[in-house]
Amino acid sequence: MSRTSRSDMNIPKKPLELKKYFSIALFLTILFASGWFADFSLIEVFRGIGETKEILTKMFFHTDWSYLSNLLGPLKETIQMSIVGTMIGSIAAIPIAVFSARNFIKNKVFTAFWRNFLGVFRTIPALVFAAIFASVFGLNSFSGMLSLAVFTFGLLAKLIYEAMEGIDHGAVEALEASGASQLSILRYAFVPQVLPQYLSFILYAFEINIRSASILGYVGAGGIGVYYQRNLSFFRYERIGTIVILTFAVVLVTDAISAKIREKLV
């Protein structure tokens, strides 16, 4: 292309990027304002460095490896809690997700009701559920499992109905036109399109649950968290280090396996 033809082009003027600068200013304002509200002080942070360093050294340089054998039992319990909780929660999520999907149920009041119902479950943290269940069902892993099931239920139901609303609507239309009933449309248009995502959501929930399961014991809901609580109250940081490293290893392994499977699914 010749130079002259290039000068013929009417390149539009670059628009002012006011919006960008405004966003940055807004972000900085919020950052500093929230620091001020929270009484954040850098001086305090520096003062705390010495103590923090001491604790971290205990945790990761004087780690009590002999403590590991005490942890295997509770670790197994934590993993069991997560598996069962994830399973129960993700099965229970299916009907409510179906009730909430606007492209499946046309009654807006009905879907809104179930959506808000799910909102309640996502507002309450798993730890709070664990505390409530522990006071009802006692200080055991059943309470922990139940709180994970409830958390998974809230999370998965939302993810599923959003996946349902994201499907290609053509197949639904075709089935409707052929005289298929709602149940058949669910089975032959929604299920095949949502199933791989659903399985991937279950694994994702399991990843989160393994992580939160290790802290649930803190409020007495069984598993490895009980040992966090026990050792923290006696300032046994070299043992806390052992628990952290073990939990980290388990989380790493689950994430890796789950990522591998999810890759294959979608």
Partner 1 sequence: MVEIKNLTKIYPNGVKALEDVSLTIEEGEFVAIIGLSGAGKSTLLRMINKMIEPTSGDVLINGESIVAAKGKKLRRMRRDIGMIFQSFNLVKRSKVLTNVLAGRIAYHHPIVTTLGLFPEKDKQIAFEALHRVNILEKAYNRADELSGGQMQRVAIARSLAQEPKILLADEPVASLDPITTIHVMNDLRRINRELKLTTLVNLHHVDLALKYSHRIIGLQGGHLVFDGPSSEVNDDVLRQIYGRELLEEEVLGDVEDLEV
Q: Which residues of the shown chain bind partner 1 in the complex (CB under 8 A)?
A: 168, 170-171, 173-181, 183-184, 187-189, 192-193, 196
Using the minimum distance from each CB to partner 1, give the nearer residue, 136 or 183.
183
**CA-CA-CA-CA torsion sign (158, 85, 82, 260):** negative
Q: How far is the CB of 46 from partner 1 (least distance, A)?
A: 57
90: CB partners within 8 A, 6+ apart: 152, 153, 156, 198, 201, 202, 205
> What token pair was written down for 170?
């053509």
117: CB partners within 8 A, 6+ apart: 96
Residue 50, class by beta-carbon neighbours within 10 Å (0-12 exposed, 13-18 middle, 19+ buried)?
exposed
Residue 140: phi and psi, rounded to 5, are: -150, 175
Q: How far is the CB of 32 from partner 1 (least distance, A)?
A: 47
Q: How far is the CB of 197 from partner 1 (least distance, A)?
A: 11
Using the minimum distance from each CB to partner 1, give the nearer residue, 116 or 181.
181
Using the minimum distance from each CB to partner 1, give the nearer residue, 253 or 265.
265
Q: How wide is the angle at C-alpha 216 spanned by C-alphas 130 and 140, nearest 5°? A: 70
Q: Which ranges in the chain belong to alpha helices (H)? A: 3-8, 18-37, 42-61, 68-100, 108-123, 126-137, 141-165, 170-177, 182-185, 191-216, 225-233, 237-265
Q: How far is the CB of 170 from partner 1 (least distance, A)?
A: 3
Say if residues 209 and 223 touch (Cβ distance below 8 Å): no
Using the minimum distance from each CB to partner 1, give the nearer residue, 51 or 168.
168
Q: How far is the CB of 101 from partner 1 (least distance, A)?
A: 17
Say if residues 266 and 197 touch (Cβ distance below 8 Å): yes
Using the minimum distance from each CB to partner 1, give the nearer residue, 98 or 226.
98
Using the minimum distance from each CB to partner 1, give the nearer residue, 52 or 181.
181
Q: How far is the CB of 181 from partner 1 (least distance, A)?
A: 5
Using the minimum distance from each CB to partner 1, give the nearer residue, 41 or 178.
178
Q: How far is the CB of 247 from partner 1 (least distance, A)?
A: 37
